[in-house]
Every structure is written in C-alpha cells, then in structure tokens.
Amino acid sequence: MHDARRTTAVIADDERLMREQIASRLREAWPELEIVGEAANGREAVALVRSREPDIVFLDIRMPEMDGIAAARALAGQVHVVFVTAYDEYAVRAFDEGAVDYLLKPAEPERVALACRRLRERLQQKPAPMEDLLAALSRRLAGGDAKPRDYLRWVQASVGSSLRMVPTSDILFFQAEDKYTRVQAASFGALIRKPIKELIEELDPAEFWQIHRSTLVRIGAVERVSRDLRGRQRVHVRGCDERLEVSRSFSHLFKQM
Amino acid sequence: MKQTESTWQVLRQIWDALVVLWWRFFDWLAVVPWKTLVIVSVLLMVVAAILASPIPFILFILVSFIIKAVAGGKHTADVAASQAVQRAEKEQLERTALEAHLEALQAQIEPHFLFNTLASIDQLILTDPPRASRMQQSLIRYLRSAMPKMRDGSRPTLGQQVDLSRAYLEIMAVRMEERLQTVVNVPEGLKSAVFPSMMLQTLVENAIRHGLEPKAEGGRLEIAAEVVDGRLAVRVRDTGKGFAPTSPGGVGLANIRERLNVLYAGRAELVISVPAEGGTCAAITVPYEVASPATT
C-alpha cells in the first residue's frame, strides 16, 4: 500500500496552460496527490520520471522532441500512465478498459475524478508493461500499420543563390555529370552532389525509372519513346527539348510502347 | 399608289420566303451525306428523262454538287468552332468546380488546433478572464474567415489572408508563449492585392506544426510580402526543425501547387527553400493584381 508516503505524479504537456489545467483539476479530484514535477516535452518527461520516480505520469500525446507514446514506451513498467490529448485521432479510447487511461482536454471534473478512482485501483498493482498496446499506438501515430518505405520526396538543390526543396513530382529527370548529378525540372536545372547510384536506392521505383547508367527519368514525365535508324530508343520528356538515350540493357522497359 | 405599295410588300414577302428556303436548302446540302445526294440526283435524272427536258435538271444537280463541296467545309468548320466553344466552357466550369473543391479541402480546420485552443480558453476563464476573452475573439475571427463559405463574387485579397493568419498566430502565441515569436512584414499597399484563399494559412500552419511546435525551444515565424517584376511574392519563413526530404510534404503543399496550376496555369509557383540559418522558407509567387475597389 501507499500509506507510507503520498502518491506522486508528473505532468507532461508542451503548453503551460494545459499543465496548469490538469494540475488544478487533479487538486480538486485528488487533493492528496502530490505533483512532483512538470515537463514540456517527451524527453524531459522521461528524465523527470526517472529522477523523481513518481507513481503516475500524465502524458500529452503530441509533444516536441519525443511524443507521449514514445515516452510511455521508454517508461513502460516504471510508472502508471495516463494519456492526455485534445483530439483522440489515435483512438486511445479503444484501450479504455485496458492498462492505460486517457483524458480529453479540456478535462471535465467528473472524468478526472473517474480517472483518479481507476488510478487508485491500479496503484495496488505494479505498472503494466503495455508493450503490445504501445506498439499498436505508435504504429497508428506513424500513420497506419502497412506504412510504405520512406522514399525520397524532396531533393535539396541549389537554384541561383538559394537552396531549394524540389518535390520529386516536379523533376523530369536526373543525369550524371562528372562529379555531380543534374536535376532537370520544367522551369530550371540544378546540380546536386548525390550520385545516381544513391538516388536509385532512395527514390520510389514506381516514380523514377533508370533508362541508362547515368539517367533516371520520372515515368510520369515521359511523353513518348522514339527509335532512330539504328534502333536505339530515345525518351522524349514533356516540357523539355532534350532526348534521353535508353541504353540496350534498359531497352526492355519500353518494349510494349 | 396604295396598289404599288402592297405589290411591293408581297414581292418582298416572296423574296424573304425564297431566302429562307435557299438557306434551308443550303443547310440541307451542307449536312446531307454525299451518298444521299447522289441518290437524289439519280432520281432527278429519271424525272428529267420522263419530262424530256434534262438541261435545267443537270444544271441544278451540278450547282448542288458545287455548293455541297464548298458549304460542307464551311459547315464542318462552324461545327468545330461551336464544339470548341462548348468544350472551353465545359473546361472552365470544370476548373471552377475543381478549384472550389480544392479550396474547401484546404480550408479544413485542424481538430487538434480547435480543441487545444478551446481547452486553453477554458483554463484562462478561471485564471485570466480578460485574456480568455481576447483569445476567444481571435478564435472567432479565425473561424469566420477560415470557414468555407459561398463566394460573393469578390476575389480574396492578401489583406484578408494576412488578417486570418494573424488571428491564428495570436492564438498560437498565447498557447506557445515564449516558444513563438512572430513578425508580419506586409506593406499596407499590398493588402489590396489579389491572393488565393487559405494558401498563406496553410504555409503558416505547416511552419508551426512541422517546424516550430516539434522544436523544444520553439523559434521565430515571419510572414513577408513584396512585389518584384510585377509578381507578388508571399513568404513564410520559420527557424524551426526544417524539412525532412522523405516527408510526403503533406496534402497541404500538393494542394497549393494544384490550385496555383488551376488558377494561374503556370504563371504562379510555390517554392520551398532552406535558409542558410536553418528552418524552412516557403514562398508563393502569383501575378500581381489589385482587387477592384468595389469588391474589397
């Protein structure tokens, strides 16, 4: 039992007003609960819980540096967790009766009182490790279970005096040029340092095709493929006069065209 | 006197009827298939043979064929022209519908923002009522201009768009406190410039959400506008976390690009760049136009 010392809690939220709000609601619902610290981001929350060893941590889900779910994973088994969120887009509610509780901001006094009652019960047991639950939540936070690989969607290129983020959907083709790679868009060209070999690895293969040892073309930008007298294929790209040579080893790509 | 006048009138009516008949015949000739024309000619020749006076018939058939050859081309051109006009009208309609759809998508209010703001107001009501009231007024101003609405025919101005973002930033400043510093650098004279709705706001929200909020110490956000070479450039710059090259870029940016394309067909652009000091800079450039005074 916790009679020997008072029950303690840490509150983590990046907005001070929200920390104040949780603290004042808790004072009403559970006057004996002692708030031993407040954190403004996930990393601070983890450090604070490890140093103060509170019984309970209230974690905002959206926080800088480390989100609330990642913080809960880092603290699994060490502390009882209550998630706090303004809008339950990750459906924490679905885990309502499980090992973890949640509060919606602004927390209604009755709901806070209920959470406190549940916490008093949970305090009889050791904090649950909640591994499966947190793994499921962080998958949701990352945007679904079957998350595709993170392909390169932007290329950093110097255009004039500025360093631009060029969306790959604007790029017509990449071409190796000595030590650099030329990036050709409809309205400008630029040189980047990333070699073709690395680009092949990082770009979405459904978006860019290699047609030559030194050329990657965005398939959506291809207008047509022509053939010269010797049978060599040339790719015509929309919005650009240049013809790109298709080397023999890649000519099978356009067999059907 | 009266007699000649009425004769004149009758002649005139006959003439009018002939003209109408002639054009009807002309139109019929223009659209009738050659095959039908040939069959009709053969039938006429048969009639001519029966009547034993072939010359006028042969002349008539010859003239018909010549007219058909000439008028057919003219008619085809007329049809093509009217089809082109219809197509252009349809395309314009489709573009307007597409833009309205994309604009509505862009105007979606983020639930996290709304609920967090309401929760902050709830807290301020207890601790600092005057501040709660000011924050609520900012929220009302933001919602009024951000809610999708029926257009009264006027085009949105940069001034309206800056006011909307200012209301949003006032709210975020209360919530983020010292973690957010904002600067708005838009000359008074540019406020009447035409600028598409919700685009500036999308850039501002991106800067907060992906740049400054995820950074523990926060940072600075600057909105600036200038006219260079007859083009209006509106920039949102933050000293936040910067851009991950693998981030899909969000629906917001893709939406802006698509809308700029629909609205300006290649005469406008969105450029994302990385300032030397870090963070992100997003700039939208559109042709500089001043909204007509009646609609501002």
Could you give the C-alpha distances from A40 to A101, A118, B88, B171, B219, in angstroms and in order? 20, 25, 56, 19, 15
**In contact, B223 and B236? CB cutoff 8 Å:** yes
Chain B nearest CA to A257, separation (Å): 29
Nearest to B215 among A64, A106, A167 (CB): A64
Contacts of A19 in chain B (CB under 8 A): none
Segment A99-115 shows an average pLDDT of 87
Alpha-carbon distance of A37 to A11, in angstroms, equals 7
* Domains of chain A from N-terminus onward: 8-141 (3.40.50.2300), 154-254 (2.40.50.1020)
- For the ranges A143-147, B38-42, B207-211, which has the lowest average pLDDT? A143-147
Q: Give just the sign of the alpha carbon dihedral A56, A61, A63, A68.
A: positive
Q: Count Cβ atoms below 10 Å from residue B219 Cβ, excluding itself.
A: 17
Question: Does B246 contact A at CB distance below 8 Å?
Answer: yes
**pLDDT for the residue A1:** 45
Q: What is the pLDDT of residues A83-99, one digit of tens each?
A: 998 887 766 666 655 56
With bands split at pLDDT 50, 70 and 90, how would you rate the model's confidence at B296? very low
Alpha-carbon distance of A114 to A125, in angstroms, equals 18
**In contact, B47 and B53? CB cutoff 8 Å:** no
Segment A210-227 shows an average pLDDT of 90
**pLDDT for the residue A50:** 95
Q: Count Cβ atoms below 10 Å from residue B221 Cβ, excluding itself.
A: 26
Q: What is the pLDDT of residues A151-188, one digit of tens each?
A: 888 888 888 778 888 889 889 999 999 889 999 998 88
Nearest in space to B209 (alpha carbons), one of A13, A64, A44: A64
Residue A177, beta-bridge partner list: A180
With bands split at pLDDT 50, 70 and 90, how would you rate the model's confidence at A12? very high
Report whether pLDDT(B71) > 80.
Answer: no
Among chain B residues, CA nearest to A43: B216
DSSP letter string over A115-156?
A: HHHHHHHHTTSPPP--HHHHHHHHHHHTT-SSPPP----EEE
**E strand intervals along B208-268:** 219-228, 231-238
Report whether pLDDT(B270) > 60.
Answer: yes
**In contact, A95 and A72? CB cutoff 8 Å:** no
Q: What are phi and psi of B177, to 5 degrees?
A: 50, -130
The ipTM value here is: 0.78
Specify the DSSP class assigned to residue B211: I
Report whether pLDDT(B244) > 50.
Answer: yes
Label residue B110 exposed, middle or buried (CB < 10 Å: 0-12, 13-18, 19+).
exposed
Report the predicted TM-score, pTM, of the whole model to 2 decimal places: 0.75
**In contact, A108 and A127? CB cutoff 8 Å:** no
For the domain bounded by B109-295, which CATH number is listed? 3.30.565.10
**pLDDT for the residue B33:** 81
Report whether pLDDT(A100) > 70.
Answer: yes
Cβ pair B271:A16 closer than 8 A = no
With bands split at pLDDT 50, 70 and 90, how would you rate the model's confidence at B291? confident
Cβ pair B124:A89 closer than 8 A = no
Segment A56-84 shows an average pLDDT of 90
Question: Does B214 contact A at CB distance below 8 Å?
Answer: yes
Highest mean pLDDT among A30-34, A92-96, B148-152: A30-34
With bands split at pLDDT 50, 70 and 90, how would you rate the model's confidence at B190? very high
Q: What are phi and psi of A78, to 5 degrees?
A: -100, -20
Question: Does B116 contact A at CB distance below 8 Å?
Answer: yes
Chain A nearest CA to B198, separation (Å): 21
Nearest to B123 among A14, A106, A165 (CB): A106
Segment A11-29 shows an average pLDDT of 95
Segment A100-121 shows an average pLDDT of 90
Nearest in space to A103 (alpha carbons), one of A67, A61, A53: A61
Query: In chain B, where are the structural domains located?
Result: 2-100, 109-295
**pLDDT, averaged across chain A:** 86
**pLDDT for the residue B285:** 97
Segment B78-105 shows an average pLDDT of 84
Give the residue from A11, A13, A15, A171 with the most B CB atoms within 10 Å of its CB, the best one to mutate: A15
**pLDDT for the residue A56:** 95
Contacts of B118 in chain A (CB under 8 A): 106
B221, two tokens: 């956000």
Nearest in space to B106 (alpha carbons), one of B238, B200, B192: B200
